[in-house]
Amino acid sequence: MKDIKATILSNVKVKGDYYKIILDAVYIAKHAKPGQFVQVRCASGTEILFRRPFSIHRARSGKIEMLYEVVGKGTEVLSCKRSGECVDVLGPLGNGFTLLPPSTLHPSPILIAGGIGTAPLVFLAEELAKRKIKPIVLIGARTKSLILCEKDFKKAGADVKIATDDASRGYKGFVSGLLEEVIKKGKYSQGAKVYCCGPDPMMKSIASICLKHGLKCEVSLEETMACGIGACLGCVVKLKNGEQKLACKDGPVFDAEKLSLEQ
């Protein structure tokens, strides 16, 4: 972990309220793993006090990319930053997704992305591609114009399926329904592992579907946090066994089986 001043190489709108920022951040790029995140100080001064956590969307050749959604004051200020400006970035933070050792033969995993939750899964798909593993990717979006990263996943060799809430493309409804359909049709490898990131209600339904069908599932959680390094204790996640973990330090990726979904 390091706190670095990173130069913005580009910061552009992708679609809707989604933006992509690319930073010159050699140390973080070198050490980042899929599922990890960074804490970015979006504004100078103290009015917007906390840093904002963003999952790492891509890390290569000394650069890191974050795909983010403008949802409030912090991200709004960030979206106005221009290339050449600097931001404070802390990372890489947390633990990433669990991957089997490269040499292990394992069934194609299923990556399930909802909205901005797509961001870390691209990093994961590209890492899997390096290991010659081609996952199934299910992308959920509100409407077809907001589907994120379809091309990136395809480029990584993934079998991409789409679900839209308004039925404008692909499966009609939530991505959890699409997963049920994939399972029902048996169009996945036995013992496939599921990696999921998206809004809480979506991850809850995905986790319960996986539990029902005996699929291992990892979810990447998002919590409000001040520090990102395990000091403020603001991002507590309760496990089924009553244990308390921190989203920042012990997560943000958790084994869905262990999570208490009622929280």
Partner 1 sequence: MITIGKLKLKNPVMVASGTFGYAREFEDFLDLKKLGAIVTKTITLKPRQGNPMPRICETASGMLNAIGLQNEGIENFINEKLPYLAKIGTSVIVSISGNNAEEFSRLAKRLDKEKSVDGIELNISCPNIQAKGLVAQCPDATYEVVEAVRKATDKTIITKLSPNVTDIVGIAKCACNAGSDAVSLVNTFLGMVIDINTEKPKLANVTGGLSGPCIKPIALRMVWEVAKNIDKPVIGMGGIMSAEDAIEFLLAGAKAVQVGTANFVEPGICEKIIKGIDKWTKKKS
Stretch that binds partner 1, among 45-53, 132-140, 149-157, 195-203 (CB under 8 A): 45-53
Is residue 44 part of the contact set for partner 1 (CB under 8 A)?
no
**Closest distance to partner 1 from the beta carbon of 86 (Å):** 14
Say how many C-beta atoms besides its own lie within 10 A of residue 16's C-beta. Answer: 15
Residues 13-42 that bind partner 1 (CB under 8 A): 41
For residue 212, what is the enclosing H or E element? helix 200-212
Q: Are 211 and 257 in contact (CB under 8 A)?
A: yes
Which CB, 166 or 243, lies closer to partner 1?
243
Taking alpha carbons only, the member of 122, 118, 13, 113 closest to residue 70 is 13
* Alpha-carbon separation of residue 130 from 37, 126, 135 (angstroms): 21, 6, 12
Q: Are 212 and 181 in contact (CB under 8 A)?
A: no
Q: Which of 155, 231, 255, 260 binds partner 1 (CB under 8 A)?
A: 231
Q: Are 68 and 77 in contact (CB under 8 A)?
A: no
CA–CA distance, 114 with 146 (Å, rounded to integer): 11
**HSE value, Cβ hemisphere, 13 Å, CA-based, for 76:** 4
Tell me the site size for partner 1, rule CB under 8 A.
Answer: 26
Phi then psi for residue 216, to 5 deg, are -70, 140
**Closest distance to partner 1 from the beta carbon of 156 (Å):** 32
Is residue 227 part of the contact set for partner 1 (CB under 8 A)?
yes
**Closest distance to partner 1 from the beta carbon of 160 (Å):** 34
Is residue 5 part of the contact set for partner 1 (CB under 8 A)?
no
Which CB, 48 or 209, lies closer to partner 1?
48
Contacting residues for 26 by C-beta, under 8 A, at least 6 apart: 62
Taking alpha carbons only, the member of 185, 250, 176 closest to residue 220 is 250
**Closest distance to partner 1 from the beta carbon of 193 (Å):** 28
Q: Are 113 and 157 in contact (CB under 8 A)?
A: no
Is residue 88 part of the contact set for partner 1 (CB under 8 A)?
yes
Is residue 70 part of the contact set for partner 1 (CB under 8 A)?
no
Which CB, 9 or 232, lies closer to partner 1?
232
Is residue 240 part of the contact set for partner 1 (CB under 8 A)?
no
Q: Which of 8, 232, 239, 261 binds partner 1 (CB under 8 A)?
A: 232
**Closest distance to partner 1 from the beta carbon of 252 (Å):** 15
Is residue 239 part of the contact set for partner 1 (CB under 8 A)?
no
Where on the chain is the footprint of partner 1 (CB under 8 A)?
Answer: 1-3, 41, 46-51, 88, 90, 223-227, 229-234, 236, 244, 263
